[in-house]
C-alpha cells in the first residue's frame, strides 16, 4: 500500500473489512460461541462490539488519521514533550506492534489446516466424513482431523503451503490484486455461507441448535463469557494490533470516519453471526449440546465436512467453501504480514526486502514449532509453571498470550493515550464530521469509564488472580 491514501471511502472500508474478515469470523467465533454457551455468548459479544469494540476501533483509526504514522510513531509523536507517566505511554506503540508478530505464525498454521481441507475434500469421497462413520470409536471426521494435525510432515507441508499462498497474494499486489479479489470472493463467501445456513435449517434436530445459538441462557453466563468475548472482539476486529492505526493513516481528513467504522463493524460482526448460524445448529444436530460445549479449534474442520457429507453435491461445495475460507484467511494474513514488515523496516531502518526476510524467518521458526506442538513437541506446555494453564499446547498459548494478555494491555495504552494524553474532548472533535454522531455519548462513556475496568478484569483473569 502506498501512503497516498485510499482512492475512496469504499476503498478504505473494503481494505479494513478484508483484513477484519478472516479466520477469526469463520474458525474462531463459532467454536468460542459453541463452547461458552451459545446465545449468551452471542449476546455478550454483540453488546461488547457495539460499545467497547466500537470505541477502540474508532479511536485507533482516528489516531492513525491524526498522526499519519503507524503505531510506534503515532504513540511517540503524541507523547512527545510529556513527562513521567504520560511520557511513558509511548510504550503502547510497541505493545500494539508486537501482537501481530505473535499472531501471524499461528494464523498461518490454521491457514495450513484450511489448505489441507481444500485438498482433503477434493481427493477423498466426502462420505468418508459422514457423521455416522466411525473410526476407532470416534467420529471419522474427528479422527481424520486428529490424524492430520498429529502427523508432523503433513501438517508442516500445509503450513508452508499456506505461507506460500499468502506470499503469492502479496505478489499479485496488495492494492490492485487483493482489492479486486476481495470484491469478487468476499461476496461469494457470504453467499455460500448463507446457502449453507439455509441447508442447516432443515437438518433433523436443527431446531435445538438454533435455540442454543439464538436464545440466551443466563445460567450459562460467567465472567469467562465476557473474557472470551473480549479476546474474540480484539482478534476479529483487528484491534490492539496496530493494523487499524495503520489503516487510519490512509484515510483522508475529509472522509467520514464514523460511518466508515460503522460499516467495518457491521460487516465483520455480520459475517461472524452467519458463520455461527451455519455451524452451531449443525454441531448440536449431530452431537447435541455436549458436543457444542466441548468444541475447540478443530470445530469447523470436524463439523463442516460432516455437513457437506450429508448433502447432494457436498464435495463440490466442501471444496468451494474451504477455498473461500482460504482466501479470507490469506487476505487477513497479508495484512498481518504487511503490518509486521512495515514496523520492522521503519524501526530497524532496514529495507523492505530485509524486513520481509526477517518476518518470514520468524513465521517459519515459530510456525513450525507450533505445528509440531501437536506431534513431536506435544509434551511441551509453555505455561507449565502456572497451574491453571499447565496443559495448554503451543498454539493455544500463543493465542492466549496475544488475545488475553497483550491485547488488553495494548488497548489500555490506547485508552490512556486518548483520554489523558490527547484529551477526550479534543479527540472527539477530531473524529466528528459535519454529520451527526449518534454514538458520541456511548463512545465517551466507554473511553472514560468502561474500557479500562473491563480490560483489567480480562488481565486479572489471565493472571489467575480472579480464580
Residues near ligand PFF, by CB under 6 A: 19-20, 22-25, 100, 235-236, 238, 241, 243, 332, 335-336, 339
Min CB(356)–ligand PFF separation in Å: 16
Min CB(27)–ligand PFF separation in Å: 8
- Pairing relationship of beta strands 138-139 and 134-135 according to DSSP bridges: antiparallel
Min CB(83)–ligand PFF separation in Å: 33
Distance CA 122, CA 128 (A): 12
Distance CA 30, CA 42 (A): 10
**Is 4 buried (19+), middle (13-18) or exposed (0-12) by CB count in 10 A?**
exposed
Would you say 336 or 369 has its CB closer to ligand PFF?
Answer: 336
Min CB(236)–ligand PFF separation in Å: 4
Task: Tell which residue, 206, 208, 107, has the closest CA to residue 163.
Answer: 107
Min CB(357)–ligand PFF separation in Å: 20
φ, ψ for residue 217 (rounded to 5)?
Answer: -110, 105
Would you say 265 or 309 has its CB closer to ligand PFF?
Answer: 265
Min CB(71)–ligand PFF separation in Å: 11
Would you say 44 or 70 has its CB closer to ligand PFF?
Answer: 70
Distance CA 425, CA 351 (A): 39
CA-CA-CA-CA torsion sign (250, 404, 357, 109)? negative
Would you say 139 or 339 has its CB closer to ligand PFF?
Answer: 339
In the complex, residue closest to ligand PFF by CB: 24
355, three cell numbers? 524486513
Would you say 235 or 427 has its CB closer to ligand PFF?
Answer: 235
Residue 62 CB partners (closer than 8 Å, separation 6+): 248, 257, 427, 430, 431
Would you say 235 or 286 has its CB closer to ligand PFF?
Answer: 235
Q: What residue ranges in 122-210 does DSSP mark as E strands?
A: 134-135, 138-139
Distance CA 180, CA 357 (A): 27
Min CB(235)–ligand PFF separation in Å: 6
Amino acid at each position: 500500500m502506498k501512503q497516498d491514501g485510499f482512492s475512496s471511502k469504499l476503498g478504505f472500508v473494503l481494505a479494513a473489512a478484508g483484513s477484519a474478515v478472516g479466520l477469526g469470523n469463520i474458525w474462531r467465533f463459532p467454536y468460542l460461541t459453541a463452547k461458552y454457551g451459545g446465545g449468551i455468548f452471542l449476546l455478550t459479544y454483540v453488546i461488547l462490539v457495539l460499545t467497547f469494540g466500537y470505541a477502540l476501533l474508532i479511536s485507533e483509526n482516528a489516531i492513525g488519521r491524526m498522526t499519519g504514522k503507524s503505531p510506534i510513531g503515532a504513540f511517540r509523536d503524541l507523547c512527545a514533550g510529556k513527562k513521567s507517566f504520560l511520557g511513558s505511554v509511548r510504550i503502547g506503540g510497541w505493545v500494539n506492534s508486537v501482537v501481530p508478530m505473535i499472531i501471524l505464525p499461528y494464523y498461518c498454521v490454521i491457514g495450513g489446516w484450511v489448505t489441507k481441507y481444500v485438498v482433503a475434500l477434493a481427493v477423498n469421497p466426502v462420505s468418508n466424513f459422514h457423521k455416522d462413520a466411525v473410526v476407532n470409536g470416534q467420529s471419522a471426521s474427528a479422527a481424520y482431523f486428529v490424524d492430520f494435525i498429529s502427523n508432523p510432515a503433513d501438517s508442516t507441508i500445509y503450513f508452508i503451503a499456506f505461507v506460500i499462498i499468502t506470499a503469492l497474494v502479496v505478489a499479485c499486489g496488495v492494492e490492485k490484486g487483493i482489492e479486486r479479489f476481495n470484491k469478487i470472493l468476499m461476496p461469494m463467501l457470504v453467499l455460500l455461507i448463507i446457502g449453507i445456513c439455509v441447508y442447516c435449517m432443515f437438518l433433523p434436530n436443527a431446531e435445538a441448535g438454533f435455540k442454543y445459538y439464538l436464545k440466551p441462557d443466563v445460567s450459562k453466563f460467567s465472567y469467562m463469557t465476557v473474557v472470551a468475548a473480549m479476546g474474540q472482539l480484539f482478534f476479529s476486529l483487528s484491534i490492539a494490533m496496530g493494523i487499524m492505526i495503520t489503516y487510519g493513516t490512509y484515510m483522508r481528513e475529509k472522509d467520514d470516519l464514523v460511518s466508515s467504522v460503522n460499516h467495518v463493524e457491521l460487516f465483520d460482526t455480520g459475517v461472524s453471526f452467519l458463520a455461527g448460524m451455519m455451524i452451531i445448529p449443525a454441531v448440536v444436530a449431530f452431537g447435541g449440546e455436549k458436543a457444542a460445549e466441548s468444541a475447540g479449534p478443530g470445530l469447523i474442520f470436524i463439523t463442516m465436512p460432516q455437513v457437506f457429507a450429508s448433502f447432494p453435491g457436498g464435495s463440490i461445495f466442501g471444496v468451494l467453501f474451504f477455498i473461500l475460507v482460504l482466501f479470507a484467511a490469506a487476505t487477513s494474513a497479508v495484512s498481518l504480514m504487511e503490518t509486521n514488515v512495515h514496523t520492522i523496516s521503519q524501526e530497524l531502518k532496514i529495507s523492505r526486502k530485509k524486513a520481509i526476510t526477517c518476518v518470514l524467518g520468524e513465521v517459519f521458526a515459530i510456525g513450525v514449532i507450533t505445528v509440531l506442538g501437536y506431534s513431536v513437541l506435544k509434551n511441551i506446555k509453555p505455561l507449565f509453571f502456572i497451574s491453571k494453564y499447565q496443559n495448554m499446547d503451543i498454539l493455544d498459548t500463543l493465542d492466549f498470550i496475544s488475545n488475553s494478555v497483550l491485547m488488553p494491555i495494548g488497548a489500555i495504552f490506547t485508552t490512556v493515550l486518548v483520554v489523558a494524553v490527547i484529551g477526550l474532548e479534543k479527540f472527539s472533535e477530531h473524529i466528528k464530521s459535519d454529520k451527526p454522531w449518534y454514538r458520541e455519548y456511548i463512545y465517551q462513556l466507554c473511553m472514560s469509564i468502561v474500557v479500562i475496568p473491563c480490560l483489567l478484569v480480562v488481565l486479572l483473569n489471565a493472571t489467575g488472580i480472579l480464580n
